[in-house]
Amino acid sequence: MLDYRYQTFLALTEEMNYTATAKRLHITQPAVTQHIQYLQQELGVELIRYENRQLTLTAKGIQLQKDLYLLQREITKVQKQLASTIEHTTLTFGASLTIGEYMMPDFIESYLNQYPTHDISMVTDNTRHLIELLEHGKIDFALVEGEFNQSIFEFQKIAEEPFIAVCSEKCSLWKQDQSINDLFSTTILVREEGSGSRLIFETAIKNKGIHLDSFSKVMTIGSIGAIKRLVGKNVGITFVYQKAVEEELKNGILKKIPLSDFSVIHPFYLIYLKRIQLKEMETIEKFLRLIE
């Protein structure tokens, strides 16, 4: 177990409020203050700063928070291993929505066929949240399509996938070659902010001097499945990884819109923190060997 004062610090970094932290930990507010003051004096650094009536973490505070999350994760693993009579491996990772839904089932099947005694725990979420989970030590690695800080994470490219425009088979846009500018009068469906695929799309059009607002109507939908169904009903068009619409293209429900001036092929990455335990690295390498 972490020292109770470090537990108080972690709770405060999540609540960013002394009263809420005290209530959460069932201690008094002065006790929270005393715990933080003790840590700052013991470590000889400022961890929490109060400015403009708002709490903020210092650079040292952010570093300590990340280190404690990782340490807490290792402590939990040790406790589980000691409590268990059988030694087993758990593959704990995250995948962005496109990868998780359309690529991972085959990978997981291959992994379990080779390592049938291993457990698997996969979180499916957008890239931004997966990075937070990695930094907090909640998952061992993540498979993402979005951008990430390469100074913090080690990474391996696992695939490259075309990013295409699609419409309903009832729409006439797929019937002839055109420019992306010809699509501005159309409703476009996009994922929520924080999604890797949305960031890829916005970056691609920004490089052409185009903003999302150039389209007559923008609808934000947080589900790939819902977007595909709406596009199939001819509500609008979307830009999506080809892997995510393979079945719909094959069945003719959706059609690829041929664009003369838009061609994007984006890599998918497996990322993990540079500070990682040897045992976890061995598990990641086993997984990588299966998908290479």
* Fold matches, 83-158+268-291 and 161-265: yes
Statement: residue 277 has pLDDT above 70: no
Q: Which one has a higher pLDDT value, 287 or 276?
A: 287
Average pLDDT over residues 277-283: 66
Q: Which one has a higher pLDDT value, 146 or 235?
A: 235
Was domain 161-265 assigned CATH 3.40.50.10310?
Answer: no
* Spatial separation of the C-alpha atoms in residues 48 and 210, rounded to whole Å: 41
What's the token pair of residue 120?
């698997």
Q: Tell me, what's the pLDDT at 72?
A: 78
What's the token pair of residue 171?
């729409």
8 Å CB contact between 98 and 145: yes
Domain segments of the chain: what residues? 4-76, 83-158+268-291, 161-265
SS3 238: strand
Statement: residue 132 has pLDDT above 80: yes
Report which secondary-structure segment, H or E, holds 69: helix 59-83
Q: Write the pLDDT tens digit of every residue in 88-124.
A: 677 889 999 889 988 888 888 888 888 888 888 899 9
Q: 54: Cβ–Cβ under 8 A, 6 or more apart, which residues?
A: none
Instruction: Choose among 115, 116, 121: nearest CA to 100.
Output: 121
- Please list the residues that pair with 56 across neighbouring strands: 49
Q: 264: Cβ–Cβ under 8 A, 6 or more apart, which residues?
A: 162, 163, 200, 204
SS3 134: helix
Q: pLDDT band for position 150 (50/70/90)?
A: confident
Q: What is the mean pLDDT of the chain?
A: 88
* Spatial separation of the C-alpha atoms in residues 233 and 231, rounded to whole Å: 5
When computed from its CA atoms, the radius of gyration of the chain, rounded to whole angstroms, is 23
CATH number given to 4-76: 1.10.10.10
Q: Strand 153-168 and strand 264-273: pairing? A: antiparallel
Statement: residue 181 has pLDDT above 90: yes
What's the token pair of residue 106?
């085959």
Average pLDDT over residues 43-53: 89
CATH number given to 83-158+268-291: 3.40.190.10
